[in-house]
Chains A and B, each alone.
Chain A
């Protein structure tokens, strides 16, 4: 298989890339690692006139701390997350979750930001970023825009990025105080998309929940943020009853469909079970860190 013909540009500067996007944004697909886009091109689900490869832009492969956030550049690959000591210390959830994404060879090419912008409802990073309250940094000729990931996903493979914009980074607020997270994923085999996955991130104030984030994978038209469940946890201690109620609310928020990976009812129940497990894991980890 090979893609339909396209023009290819691989600019050496962001300015040049933004110029192309300003002129021909509607005809362009931006490519970083290409691990989602190239399969789509080969299947001819996507037939852009121009592929804009940002793979050679300088300074975009860094994971760094800035004003209370971790900033992940647009060319940071999944494998870079696996190897990041900074993230292992501050957001171990991400290092745990990355092992569930695709396979080691794909992780050597695919990028975090590219995956979020690809907006596959079965993508893992989307729900992780929803749970972590991250924001996408978008750049265009007219300047920089920060878009909360909550609201970024419009539908399957559709985001609020404008045709003249390119995502240059994602910013994740650093947890303050004791925190813990987890990523639970059910997949049929290594490299498969999730049947269901659930991301949990909880920050504590003493024994009480200061902020809970819950992201759901593969159970809707986009990655979903289980807001009612999050709200039910805020200010509460994580007793069994509180956990059960949050899990029930999260399952209610899920909108799965029957498919080869399972029935809708089954997937909803997996959400419920994973939220319970995830919250207990997160609590245990937050206590470990404190101890």
Chain B
């Protein structure tokens, strides 16, 4: 079957059997190997992608179900040559050890910040409760998401500050 979807902003098509899982389509057909296969049984969240902005497990989704819809993978997080706030957060707070769960954790974090720009520790823990980190690095992952939230808040304020400064100079 022919499927067409937007992946990280670009239209992608492929010819797949209906039984092909989205994670395999991304990794094998599109060579986007940042989306990982961990447990392959809907438990671990290593295969997390955003479907129309919401985190889902791509090992539990058929590629044909996504026809005509929008997918974001870890490869689509960066803003051009700049790291996105969620990436800076994970870098600054050392939010990873082996890195296997990190793509999923960052996508969940990004989706959370979109719905809730100022999450509590508890909000973050609930949001990542479908994603397993086997290096037991949850403390720093929570800190990383908080760091990203602060960065986003500062960036949102910055233009206002600049405008105020420009106003003060007149």
Contact = CB atoms under 8 A, between A and B. Distances in A.
Interface string B13-26: 00001111100100
B129 A2 contact: no
Contact of A103 (B19, B21, B130): B130
Given A2-B19, A191-B43, A106 B130 contact: yes
A159 B128 CA distance: 34
Contacts of A237: none
B40 A42 contact: yes
Interface stretch (B4-12, B58-66, B86-94, B162-170): B58-66
Interface in B15-54: 17-21, 24, 40-43, 45, 48, 51, 54
State the majority secondary structure of interface residues on A: loop
Given A39-B42, A41-B19, A109 B1 contact: no
B144 interface: no
A157 interface: no
A127 to B, nearest CB: 22
A41 B19 CA distance: 9
A224 B1 CA distance: 42
A166 B19 CA distance: 22
Given A108-B54, A191-B130, A5 B19 contact: yes
Contacts of B40: 1, 42
Contacts of B64: 8, 10, 53
B17 A108 contact: no
A41 B20 CA distance: 11
Interface residues of B, number: 30
B45 A105 contact: yes
A4 B130 contact: no
Contacts of B1: 8
Contacts, number: 81
B130 A3 contact: no
Contact of B20 (A2, A79, A103, A106): A2
Nearest to B49: A105
A38 B24 CA distance: 14
Contacts of B18: 5-8, 51
A51 B62 CA distance: 11
Interface in B112-170: 126-127, 129-131
Nearest to B24: A2
A3 B19 contact: yes
B101 interface: no
A93 interface: no
Nearest to B1: A8
Nearest to B47: A105
23 contacts: A1-B40, A1-B41, A2-B20, A3-B19, A5-B18, A5-B19, A8-B1, A35-B42, A39-B41, A39-B42, A42-B21, A53-B65, A55-B65, A103-B45, A104-B108, A104-B129, A104-B130, A105-B57, A106-B42, A106-B57, A109-B51, A109-B56, A191-B129
Given A34-B60, A102-B130, 20 more contacts: A2-B24, A8-B62, A10-B67, A34-B61, A38-B60, A39-B42, A53-B62, A104-B126, A104-B127, A105-B45, A105-B55, A105-B56, A106-B130, A108-B51, A108-B56, A109-B56, A109-B61, A190-B130, A191-B43, A191-B130
